[in-house]
Chain A
Amino acid sequence: MSGNDDARTDTKRLIADAVEDARDAPLEPARLESIRQLLLTSPEARRYYLQVNEINHHFAGRSVLPPESEIVALQSNVPAAPLRSRFFTTRVLTGAVTVLAVVVSAAVLLRHREPPVTRSYRIAQLEQINGEVFVTTAGADARTISASTDIASGDTIRTHGAPSSALLRHADGTRLLLAGNSSLTVSDFGQKSVVFHAGTMFATVAPQPAGRPMLITTPKDTLQIVGTRFSLDATEHRTDLCVSEGRVKITRLRDGESVEVPAGQRVVSDSASELALEKIPAAPDTWNVDFESGLPDGWESGALVADDLPNGSRLAVKAVRVDEGADESYAIVSQPNWLRGVFSVHPDSSMQITFKMETPSWINVFIITHTRDSAEPHFANNFQYNEIPFGRLQPGRWYSITIPLAEFKRLPGYTDEPLQDLLPFQIVFNFPAPDRGLVIDEIRIARGGPETVELKRID
């Protein structure tokens, strides 16, 4: 090999090694400066740098956009909203009732820099605040909101905690209800634009100016809306769109597939399935989770266990420690489902729980509910049952308890509506420290159960 070839190889190795090491951690300052000088002075080094980046990302399957960044475009006039940073993303701890849990689907935009566009005017008002709601103005820290507040182009609104919600109202009557653990960034440059980072949103969109439909970008899709009513649930992996009125066109960027969703229909966009229309399902009468396939997507609190389980069971979930302020507690918390609720409540509905406790004592069982308004549901109330007869329980033994839902008591201070008129969207089991070793193997909601509480040992 000639001297020139040696030099070329050396240059390549320097660049390749730097790119390789920088994938794992920032380079040391001296080395970084040395590589940068090489790139500034050597056209060959620069070409090779581009080639390395290109092929490394082909290797990663990232020569196309990652699935979670697909944009479903729904025709509506809105310029793209300010960015949701993946580079600076951090996990958000979410909670329901008294718990903290790691949320997989929600991300907080931390602005580490000034945005290139100056926000200067109000485009909407945030009102009907419930629970914990934060607004982040570009270039500033998030601030907690407790009363009606003006929203400017570029602001990020985040609701934290399953019962939380906030309503964003534009001057033209467009309303966006953010619910549960959700976050969006809104802008308006003559076209409304929303970057919907994750969570659940209910929207009533007033007719938009011709050629300027509202644009909503989710982690997977972009929606363009000319004037309609719909609900949207988005995570990093899927977008779930239900249209109540009007029509919404959704286009998946990854493959360009698109479909128009009419009123009464639903479409789920993810990386695995086709964009297929289906009727919007109602909340089912029954619900069952047995953890045999692990924790359901979005499950908020609990740790899987595989030992000392009932016959035929492979996995169960154990209550884990959560802290709220100075109070230590333990909890198992289901995934919230604001969009359609977990189950419908009937006079003969009951909850059956297969469980054990190492140190039997009382526990709270909560059913968290919101109103049945499909357009703009609001948190309604928590219904509580805490009368499991723990005195009859033997430590470490498995039991099945069936509790008629009529036995759950409404907590004071919120809506007076009965449970049957509301939509449960989350289930919580919790108790204060010390750990009682609560393990749940199965939770089942069904109809036609006993009229009184039944407890039986099953091992």
Chain B
Amino acid sequence: MEQQSHDFTDLVTGHQQRMYRYIISLLGHADAAWDVLQETNRVLLEKRNEFEAGTNFVNWALTVAQFQTMAWLRNLKRDRLIATPDIIELIADDAQEMNVGEDSKLRALQSCLESLSDHHRDLVHRRYARSEKLSDLSEQTGRTVNAMKQLLFRIREALMNCIQHRLEGESR
């Protein structure tokens, strides 16, 4: 029984990154995703006796994460995030599928990021890693906010296409 307990804990701790990525794709907000992950961990450990060894832990854990995300959103003021429990219910399965093959996607992304210009790479870093506001970036670059959004959209589209292309190349 002690060995089973250690194995289960290893499963939970060993899949934290997968669970976090899944939740963040649902919510689009890092801090909110961390909150939900904590809650998911608690529920998983509380329900450890319901998990049957040898079955698919990831599917079970992600399902728990989905329901914890929905429960968390139900308790949130409606205007804080875009997602709602109804939307989560509709996107959860797609999010699970997208989660597969994450490592190869990350490799492809890294490679594609290197093909960006220094200016665009810096912009992406400032906006998403350092969370600088559009209004601040706009002021510093002399572009309007809408122009900034348009530029980020084009950069993101280019990267998505690049990643897709590289993944298709890997699978051949």
Contacts and interface: CB of A to CB of B under 8 A. Distances in A.
B134 A83 contact: no
B53 interface: no
A35 B82 contact: yes
B42 interface: yes
B35 A83 contact: yes
Interface stretch (A58-66, A259-267, A340-348, A357-365): A58-66
A253 B153 CA distance: 33
Nearest to B103: A63
B66 interface: no
A281 interface: no
Nearest to A57: B24
A19 B82 contact: yes
Interface in A33-90: 35-36, 39-40, 46-47, 49-66, 69, 71, 73, 75, 77, 79-89
B61 interface: no
B172 to A, nearest CB: 22
A89 B35 CA distance: 10
Contact of A50 (B3, B4, B25, B105): B25
Contact of B27 (A24, A32, A53, A86): A53
Nearest to A224: B9
A39 B131 contact: no
B9 A51 contact: no
Contacts, number: 187
Given A22-B81, A73-B9, A52 B156 contact: yes
A113 B5 contact: no
A55 B156 contact: yes
A169 to B, nearest CB: 23
A107 to B, nearest CB: 11
B86 interface: yes
B129 A24 contact: no
B6 A63 contact: no
B13 interface: yes
Contacts of A50: 25-26, 91, 94-95, 98
Interface string B1-18: 111111001000110110
A24 B133 contact: yes
Given A50-B91, A59-B128, A83 B39 contact: yes
Nearest to A54: B25
A83 B36 CA distance: 8
Contacts of B98: 50-51, 54
Interface string A1-30: 000000000001100111111111011010
Nearest to B45: A79
Contact of A20 (B90, B91, B134): B134
B31 A87 contact: yes
A17 B149 CA distance: 7
A83 B38 CA distance: 5
A40 B82 contact: no
B46 interface: yes
A80 B28 contact: no
A26 B131 contact: no
Interface residues of B, number: 71
B100 interface: no
A256 interface: yes
A222 interface: yes
A39 B81 CA distance: 13
Interface string B118-150: 000000110111010111000000000000010
Given A40-B86, A55-B159, A75 B129 contact: no
A60 B82 contact: no
B167 interface: no
Contacts of A63: 17, 21, 102, 106
Residue among B3, B25, B86, B152 facing the most chain A CB atoms (10 A cut-off): B25
Contacts of A73: 9, 13
Given A39-B82, A65-B20, A77-B5, A13 B135 contact: no
B76 A113 contact: yes
A61 B149 contact: no
B42 A36 contact: no
B114 interface: no
Contacts of A224: 9
Contacts of A23: 131
A210 interface: yes
B71 interface: yes
B75 to A, nearest CB: 4
A82 B159 CA distance: 38
A89 B95 CA distance: 27
B171 to A, nearest CB: 18
Nearest to B91: A46
B13 A53 contact: no
Given A20-B149, A53-B24, A39 B17 contact: no
A29 B160 contact: no
A402 to B, nearest CB: 45
Nearest to A41: B90
A29 B87 contact: no
Which A-B residue pairs are the 5 nearest by beta carbons? A83-B38, A211-B2, A113-B75, A79-B45, A211-B5
Interface of B: 1-6, 9, 13-14, 16-17, 20-21, 24-32, 34-35, 37-39, 41-46, 48, 68, 71, 75-76, 79-82, 84, 86-87, 90-91, 94-95, 98, 102, 105-106, 109, 124-125, 127-129, 131, 133-135, 149, 152-153, 156-157, 159-160, 163
Given A35-B82, A52-B156, 4 more contacts: A22-B82, A39-B82, A88-B35, A256-B14
Interface of A: 12-13, 16-24, 26-27, 29, 32, 35-36, 39-40, 46-47, 49-66, 69, 71, 73, 75, 77, 79-89, 112-114, 116-117, 187, 189, 191, 193, 195, 210-212, 215, 222, 224, 251, 253, 256
